[in-house]
């Protein structure tokens, strides 16, 4: 898995009950430039003073389960049991991380991905509360900027990600960026304290709602 990610290749299944994995190497490739993340002002207020509590690596299994569960507009999933097994193993090895969004004691959103050097490969996110997955994304970007992240891979470009500044780049350009980022260090744990994280969020580039 780690060799595949270093080469810019990632796995997906065709369906939840699929027995096989497929390896993808898309061209063009979606990335979210960390220095050009667009944070809508309303979302920034929600992140800084909204109803949610955000953690990192507190419930990786819960996040990947949430990402695999059917949701309105997303009845199917590419996360099969083998994907879950592989990413849980990477998490236990310290290579896969999650961001959790809580409302009280309920897990209402989150995301997970793989870190390889200063590159972070975003895999999936889910939301059961208003803006919960967006809050998780803001926290991920803030943590990566704080920790020296150099590349945030989104795999593909979607309209949802484009509003935050995500773009498509040629595969060859992506792989050159990946080769450089993979050999740089990234601080993930123990992570920023509350004041450092708030400062990192406040420093994100504002965007119009």
Which CATH number goes with the domain that contains 199? Answer: 3.40.630.70
Whether 123 maps to a domain, the answer reads yes
pTM for the whole thing? 0.95
Checking if the pLDDT of 205 tops 90, the result is: no
Residue 172 is assigned to a structural domain of this protein = yes
Asked, for residue 115, whether it belongs to a domain, the answer is: yes
Specify if 21 maps to a domain.
no
In a domain, 9, yes or no: no
Q: Does 148 score more than 80 pLDDT?
A: yes
How far, in Å, CA of 82 to CA of 104, rounded? 31
Question: pLDDT band at residue 208, thresholds of 50, 70 and 90?
Answer: low
209 pLDDT above the threshold of 60: no
Domain that holds residue 59: 27-203
Per the domain annotation, does 5 fall within a domain?
no
How far apart, in whole angstroms, are the C-alpha atoms of residue 144 and residue 196?
Answer: 12
Across the chain, mean pLDDT equals 93
Average pLDDT over residues 158-163: 92
Q: What is the model's pLDDT at position 17?
A: 82
Whether residue 13 is contained in a domain is answered as no
Residue 190, pLDDT > 80, answer yes
Q: Determine the average pLDDT of the residues in 139-147.
A: 96
C-alpha 99, offset from chain centre: 8
Mean per-residue pLDDT, 113-129: 96
Q: Which has more pLDDT, 76 or 98?
A: 98
Q: How far is CA 3 from CA 7, 8, 134, 174, in A?
A: 6, 9, 30, 16
Residue with tokens 């027995």: 19
Average pLDDT estimate for 185-203: 93
Residue 36 per-residue DSSP state: G
% of the chain beyond a pLDDT of 70: 97
C-alpha atoms less than 13 angstroms from C-alpha of 187 in its C-beta half-sphere: 11
**pLDDT at 18 > cutoff 90:** no
Segments of the chain assigned E as strands:
10-12, 22-24, 29-31, 38-40, 53-56, 96-103, 106-116, 119-127, 151-155, 167-169, 205-207
> How many structural domains compose the chain?
1
Hey, how many other C-beta atoms are within 10 angstroms of the C-beta on 171? Answer: 14
Per-residue pLDDT band at 171 (split at 50, 70, 90): very high
pLDDT, position 16: 83
Place of tokens 């430039």: 33
Whether residue 73 lies inside any domain: the answer is: yes
**CA angle at residue 28 from 24 to 34, to 5 degrees?**
100
Angle in degrees, CA 171, 20, 172, rounded to 5? 5
pLDDT in tens, 47-88: 999 899 999 999 999 999 999 997 776 667 889 999 999 999
What are the start-end ranges of the E strands in 86-174? 96-103, 106-116, 119-127, 151-155, 167-169
Q: What is the mean pLDDT of residues 16-31?
A: 92
């Amino acid at each position: 898995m780690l060799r595949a990610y270093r080469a810019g290749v990632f796995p997906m299944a065709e369906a939840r009950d699929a027995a096989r994995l497929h390896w993808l190497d898309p061209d063009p490739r979606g990335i979210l430039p960390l220095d050009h993340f667009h944070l809508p002002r309303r979302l920034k207020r929600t992140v800084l003073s909204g109803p949610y509590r955000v953690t990192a690596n507190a419930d990786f299994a819960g996040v990947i389960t949430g990402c695999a569960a059917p949701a309105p507009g997303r009845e199917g999933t590419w996360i099969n049991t083998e994907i879950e097994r592989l990413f849980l193993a990477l998490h236990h090895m310290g290579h896969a991380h999650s961001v959790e969004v809580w409302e009280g004691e309920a897990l209402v959103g989150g995301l997970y991905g793989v870190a390889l050097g200063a590159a972070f490969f975003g895999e999936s996110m889910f939301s059961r509360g208003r803006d919960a997955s967006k809050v998780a994304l803001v926290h991920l970007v803030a943590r990566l900027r704080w920790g020296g992240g150099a590349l945030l891979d989104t795999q593909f470009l979607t309209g949802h990600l484009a509003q935050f500044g995500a773009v498509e780049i040629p595969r060859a350009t992506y792989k050159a960026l990946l080769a450089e980022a993979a050999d740089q260090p990234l601080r993930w744990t123990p992570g920023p304290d509350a004041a450092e994280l708030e400062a990192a969020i406040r420093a994100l580039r504002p965007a119009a709602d």
